[in-house]
């Protein structure tokens, strides 16, 4: 059996940067915490905890110390609240997410009704929404786009990890909704590259392993895309690999989400090779 890695997989620039910033600000006395898990990967969150970076669910849990904003970013109120509570704030928001936030803010200030194409419950999308002053629509499907009323001035931004094809398709539906439309496609290059490489590989192999947190939106999207081409298994760690998946398989492909650490990818790769 041949085991092939996707050309682009695993940690992206924004995640590497956020983890580096968190490590630089680790503390042995438990005073450093990220607001929400630093990335959607439980194994990495646990590792950082052991290195001196905890996690809080809200600023209310901190009386003092240092709070690290993760790559998904937050709305403007969090910066204000951290300051008023006297907390030190270190901002590890990915610059691509920052760009999406500021694009939405700018569109809103220019009088556009903002539509964010993305998942309503994703922290990054929530953060982009906050920067519009709560005046945006969040839509995830063509049906939701079609259900929108006509809009005078329509400004569109995207979740950075949204599927490029789906964005295009939803935008096509939105074109009917307004005579004045400004589209800021804020999908990041890392996402585009990982999705394109995963699809290309999924077309060539008998089965795909997609490695990454089950709570990771970009990993889940990779798994959905690969599943359109071949049998696909979404796993978090090597422990989930099953022998029977490799039966009668000549070629198996491996990809991983932008929040999947290298060491987990290597473990899966080695394990597959040992069965080759």
Return residues touching ligand SF4 (CB under 6 A): 12-15, 71, 94, 96-97, 160-161, 188, 190-191, 218, 258
Q: Residue 159 gets which letter from DSSP?
A: -
The answer to whether 188 is a known ligand-binding residue is yes
Burial of 3 (0-12, 13-18, 19+ CB in 10 A): buried
Residue nearest to ligand SF4 (CB): 14
Report how far residue 89's alpha carbon sits from residue 74's, in angstroms, rounded to the nearest whole number.
Answer: 12
- State the nearest-atom distance from the C-beta of 96 to ligand SF4, in Å: 4
**Which strand ranges, in their side-by-side order, compose the sheet holding 137-139?**
137-139, 113-117, 153-158, 180-184
Phi, psi of 84 (to 5 degrees): -65, -25
The answer to whether 272 is a known ligand-binding residue is no
The answer to whether 122 is a known ligand-binding residue is yes
- Residue 200 appears among annotated catalytic residues: no
- Is residue 249 within 8 Å of residue 276, measured between CB atoms? no
- State the nearest-atom distance from the C-beta of 94 to ligand SF4, in Å: 3
Q: Which residue in the list 46, 88, 110, 124 is annotated as catalytic?
A: 124
The answer to whether 248 is a known ligand-binding residue is no
The answer to whether 127 is a known ligand-binding residue is no
Q: Which residue number, 32 or 161, has a Cβ lying nearer to ligand SF4?
A: 161
Q: Which residue number, 98 or 153, has a Cβ lying nearer to ligand SF4?
A: 98
- State the nearest-atom distance from the C-beta of 86 to ligand SF4, in Å: 29
Report how far residue 1's alpha carbon sits from residue 274's, in angstroms, rounded to the nearest whole number.
Answer: 10
Cα dihedral across residues 46, 49, 51, 53: positive or negative: positive
Strand, helix or coil at 230?
coil
**Residue 244: HSE in the Cβ half-sphere, 13 Å Cα cutoff:** 0
Q: Looking at the chain, how many residues does it have? A: 276
Report how far residue 110's alpha carbon sits from residue 155's, in angstroms, rounded to the nearest whole number.
Answer: 9
Report how far residue 119's alpha carbon sits from residue 125's, in angstroms, rounded to the nearest whole number.
Answer: 7
The answer to whether 108 is a known ligand-binding residue is no
- State the nearest-atom distance from the C-beta of 104 to ligand SF4, in Å: 14
Strand, helix or coil at 138?
strand
Q: Which residue number, 15 or 252, has a Cβ lying nearer to ligand SF4?
A: 15
Q: Which residue number, 62 or 256, has a Cβ lying nearer to ligand SF4?
A: 256
- Is residue 157 within 8 Å of residue 103, measured between CB atoms? yes
Q: Which residue number, 12 or 116, has a Cβ lying nearer to ligand SF4?
A: 12
- State the nearest-atom distance from the C-beta of 139 to ligand SF4, in Å: 20
The answer to whether 173 is a known ligand-binding residue is no
Q: Which H or E run contains 117?
A: strand 113-117
Catalytic center residues:
124
Mark the binding-site residues, compressed into ranges. 12, 40, 72, 94, 122, 160, 188, 216, 218, 259
Mark the binding-site residues for dimethylallyl diphosphate, compressed into ranges. 40, 72, 122, 216, 218, 259
Mark the binding-site residues for [4Fe-4S] cluster, compressed into ranges. 12, 94, 188
Mark the binding-site residues for isopentenyl diphosphate, compressed into ranges. 40, 72, 122, 216, 218, 259
């Amino acid at each position: 059996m041949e085991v092939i890695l996707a050309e682009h997989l695993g940690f992206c620039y924004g995640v590497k940067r956020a983890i580096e910033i968190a490590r630089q600000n680790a503390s042995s006395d438990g005073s450093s915490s990220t607001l929400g898990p630093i990335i959607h990967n439980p194994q990495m969150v646990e590792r950082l905890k052991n290195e001196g970076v905890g996690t809080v669910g809200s600023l209310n849990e901190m009386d003092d110390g240092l709070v690290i904003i993760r790559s998904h970013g937050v709305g403007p109120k969090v910066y204000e609240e951290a300051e008023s509570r006297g907390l030190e704030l270190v901002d590890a928001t990915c610059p691509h997410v920052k760009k999406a936030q500021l694009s939405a803010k700018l569109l809103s200030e220019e009088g556009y009704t903002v539509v964010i194409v993305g998942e309503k419950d994703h922290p990054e999308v929530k953060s982009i929404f906050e920067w519009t002053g709560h005046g945006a629509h969040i839509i995830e499907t063509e049906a939701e786009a079609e259900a929108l009323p006509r809009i005078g001035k329509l400004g569109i931004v995207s979740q950075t990890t949204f599927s490029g094809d789906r964005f295009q398709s939803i935008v096509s539906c939105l074109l009917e909704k307004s005579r004045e439309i400004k589209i800021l496609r804020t999908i990041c290059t890392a996402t585009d590259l990982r999705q394109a490489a995963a699809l290309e590989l999924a077309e060539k192999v008998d089965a795909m392993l997609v490695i990454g947190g089950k709570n990771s939106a970009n990993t889940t999207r990779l798994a959905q895309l690969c599943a359109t081409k071949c049998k696909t298994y979404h796993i978090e760690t090597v422990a989930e690999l099953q022998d029977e998946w490799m039966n009668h398989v000549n070629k198996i492909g491996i990809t991983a989400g932008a929040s999947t650490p290298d060491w987990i990818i290597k473990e899966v790769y080695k394990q597959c090779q040992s069965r080759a």
